[in-house]
Amino acid sequence: MQSENLTLTDTHNNMKKSALQKARANYQPKLPIALQGPVKVVEGRPTESVADQEAIRNLFPNTYGLPEIRFEKNSAPAPGKPINVGVILSGGQAPGGHNVISGLFDGIKKIHRDSRLFGFLMGPGGLVEHKYIELTAPIIDEYRNTGGFDIIGSGRTKLEKKEQFDKGLEILNELGIKALVIIGGDDSNTNAAILAEYYKEKNTGIQVIGCPKTIDGDLKNDVIETSFGFDTATKVYSEVIGNIQRDCNSAKKYWHFIKLMGRSASHIALECALQTQPNICLVSEEIEERNMSLNDIIDYIAGIVTSRAADGNNFGTVLIPEGLIEFIPEIKRLIAELNELLGANKDKVAGMNEEQLTEFILANLAPENVATLKNLPEGVARQLMLDRDPHGNVQVSLIETEKLISGMVAEKLAASEEFKAAGGKFSPLHHFFGYEGRCADPSNFDADYCYSLGFNAAALINAGVTGYMSSIRNLVKPAVQWIPGGIPITMMMNIERRNAEDKPVIQKALVRLDGKPFQKFASQRDTWAHNTCYIYPGPIQYFGPAEVCDQPSMTLKYEHENK
Ligand code: FBP
């Protein structure tokens, strides 16, 4: 099954390299001191899940309650045996994935030089479909310190059914693989835990280890300080936001509405705001908490635009998190009822044309939701009613929130006497930053963090554990002081309602309004709104002084300062 897959590496071998790529290939990622030589395993106390302990314990009888693990430097080298390991990249790309794989490769080779690494292609689907390549030293060397997931590709197939697990087991056994490393976000790591439990229950002898990935930054908790990729992606977006701010402060004639990726949580927008000090940054979690309506949001922005106009500043920047629309309580209610209504009447609506469907929806929705719908610009209301995904759900990600908001602000300002009296002019421009940062060359922080996560995953495999997430802590300190170890994935789980079923899942981390990053932002945002306090972070620097090149994100710093 392997031959058809060789194209992935063939293309890479023929690629020309930029000067930076060549120089960057020689970068040696920094490792925590504890991983630099032989390690000893220090076990902590047994763990409990964050909530719903009994339910999670019942669902994971073989992998629940395991202890946290920490690795410490050991004086005596332990003899290691060769081991075959499989690796999967799951979900959206995030800078540093290649370094997790190169760290894993170097880690298992350190255990024994005859160890082998197999990469399953295009995400979890590769395991089920038996598509893989062996990752040898020349391949790994091509990808060290590079962005992207192209070494083996990624995909969003969910590994959740027993048939998939059994199909996977066939190829793992065929290749003599004793451990599988799944690099993914909260859902993929939830599934890694389920797979670990299943393989343990079946006595397969196959270990499963997870690694925390996602630019969204929402896979973190008391024991996982950050997911990889967040640092680089937010630095790339902040560079470009800074450039836009310098442009708009030069021309003084445009308002820039900038939407930032992050399917649900607003960590990316918040971090970019801390780095660049825009005039406005919306935080979805706050909007939900304060029960703000769309009109409240429009009033808030129009108020700042008007006040800046009165000072002669007809320009500014507004950061908007991608997930915003689903957090606005009135729209959340509308979407929930639309999904419910159309789901329950699937057959009835299947044959309707647009006009009939609109009529049906307006006749059956609760009056408050009809009012919300009518308050929206026609195009957006149409999109909400008529564009559905294959499961029949509203496709929220297709809505161009930045245009929706600027359009409504423009309407409000056109009707405002105060804005006219201030001599205000409003010319909005729109941007969406997401893909621009997901495959950037990892910052030094992500290059080091990812390499350490992979190297540490090898140590977890050598320690014989399963159902653990690779964990590197103390990240605001220099890399040598980082603390490597492993966290039982069940420890991060609770039960949530998903697709009308109660499921064990890793708790998603949303922005905490009582957390320091938000508090810092909230304490300064009024000044940023009315004055022009832009910061221009410039591009990521890979070579140079540590204070320029090795700084972690501000979110991480604020969350962990004085700890
Ligand atoms: P993951 O959670 O899988 O890391 O993906 C995050 C993300 O980049 C989101 O920010 C974004 O909404 C989504 O992926 C887009 O994914 P796709 O390109 O597959 O549509």
Q: If pLDDT is split at 50, 70 and 90, which confidence band does 399 have? A: confident
Q: If pLDDT is split at 50, 70 and 90, which confidence band does 6 have? A: very low
- DSSP H/E element including 108: helix 97-111
Give residue 47's Cα distance to chain centre.
26
Whether 225 is in the pocket of ligand 1, judged by its Cβ within 6 Å, is no
pLDDT at residue 379, rounded to an integer? 85
Question: Residue 321, Cβ neighbours under 10 Å: how many?
Answer: 29
Q: If pLDDT is split at 50, 70 and 90, which confidence band does 391 have? A: low
Whether 187 is in the pocket of ligand 1, judged by its Cβ within 6 Å, is no
pLDDT at residue 8, rounded to an integer? 53
pLDDT at residue 97, rounded to an integer? 98
pLDDT at residue 5, rounded to an integer? 47
Please give the distance, rounded to the nearest whole angstrom, from the Cα atom of residue 284 to the centre of ligand 1: 17
pLDDT at residue 52, rounded to an integer? 95
Is 141 known to be catalytic? no
pLDDT at residue 511, rounded to an integer? 98
Please give the distance, rounded to the nearest whole angstrom, from the Cα atom of residue 487 to the centre of ligand 1: 25
Give the whole-angstrom CA distance, residue 498 versus residue 504. 9
pLDDT at residue 501, rounded to an integer? 76
pLDDT > 80? residue 394? no
pLDDT tens sequence across 300-338:
999 999 999 999 999 999 999 999 999 999 999 998 898
pLDDT at residue 499, rounded to an integer? 63
Does this chain's domain 31-229+442-498 share its CATH topology with 230-322+400-434+510-563? yes
Whether 277 is in the pocket of ligand 1, judged by its Cβ within 6 Å, is no
Among 150, 186, 187, 216, the active-site one is 216
pLDDT tens sequence across 55-114:
999 999 999 999 999 999 988 777 789 999 999 999 999 999 999 999 999 999 999 999
**Secondary structure letter of residue 484 according to DSSP:** E
Predicted TM-score (pTM) above 0.75? yes
Whole-number Cα distances in Å, 385 to 160, 349, 399, 516, 541: 31, 12, 12, 39, 46
Q: If pLDDT is split at 50, 70 and 90, which confidence band does 392 have? A: low
Average pLDDT over residues 418-433: 96
What is the arrangement of strands in the sheet containing 84-89, beginning at the earlier edge strand? 39-46, 67-73, 483-488, 468-473, 207-212, 177-184, 84-89, 116-120, 132-134
pLDDT at residue 75, rounded to an integer? 80
Mean pLDDT of the chain: 93
pLDDT tens sequence across 343-370:
888 888 888 888 899 999 999 999 999 9
Q: Which two tokens stand for residue 265?
A: 């949580």
Q: If pLDDT is split at 50, 70 and 90, which confidence band does 483 have? A: very high
Q: Which fold has domain 31-229+442-498?
A: Rossmann fold (3.40.50)
Please give the distance, rounded to the nearest whole angstrom, from the Cα atom of residue 327 to the centre of ligand 1: 18
Average pLDDT over residues 395-406: 87
Ligand 1 mutation pick, 186, 211, 215, max ligand atoms within 8 A of CB? 215
Residues 6+ apart with CB under 8 A from 114: 82
Whether 383 is in the pocket of ligand 1, judged by its Cβ within 6 Å, is no
Domain ranges, ordered by start, for the chain: 31-229+442-498, 230-322+400-434+510-563, 327-398
Pairing, β 255-260 against β 428-433: parallel
Q: Which two tokens stand for residue 31?
A: 């490792």
Class at the top of the CATH hierarchy for domain 327-398: mainly alpha
Span between the terminal Cα atoms of the chain, in Å: 50
For residues 210 and 196, the answer to whether their CB atoms sit within 8 Å is no
Percentage with pLDDT > 70 across the chain: 96
Q: Which of 415, 447, 422 is nearest to 550 (CA)?
A: 447
pLDDT tens sequence across 492-549:
999 987 766 789 999 999 999 999 999 999 999 999 999 999 999 999 999 999 999 9
Whole-number Cα distances in Å, 175 to 121, 133, 304: 15, 11, 62
Q: Can you name the residues that pair with 208 across neighbouring β-strands?
A: 180
Give the whole-angstrom CA distance, residue 153 versus residue 123. 6
3 state SS for 338-363? HHHHHHHCHHHHHCCCHHHHHHHHHH
Which one is predicted more confidently, 380 or 27?
27
Class at the top of the CATH hierarchy for domain 230-322+400-434+510-563: alpha beta
pLDDT at residue 395, rounded to an integer? 74
pLDDT at residue 346, rounded to an integer? 81
Pairing, β 116-120 against β 501-506: unpaired
Please give the distance, rounded to the nearest whole angstrom, from the Cα atom of residue 395 to the centre of ligand 1: 14
3 state SS for 122-172? CCCHHHHCCCEEECCHHHHHHHCCCCCCCCCCCECCCCCCHHHHHHHHHHH
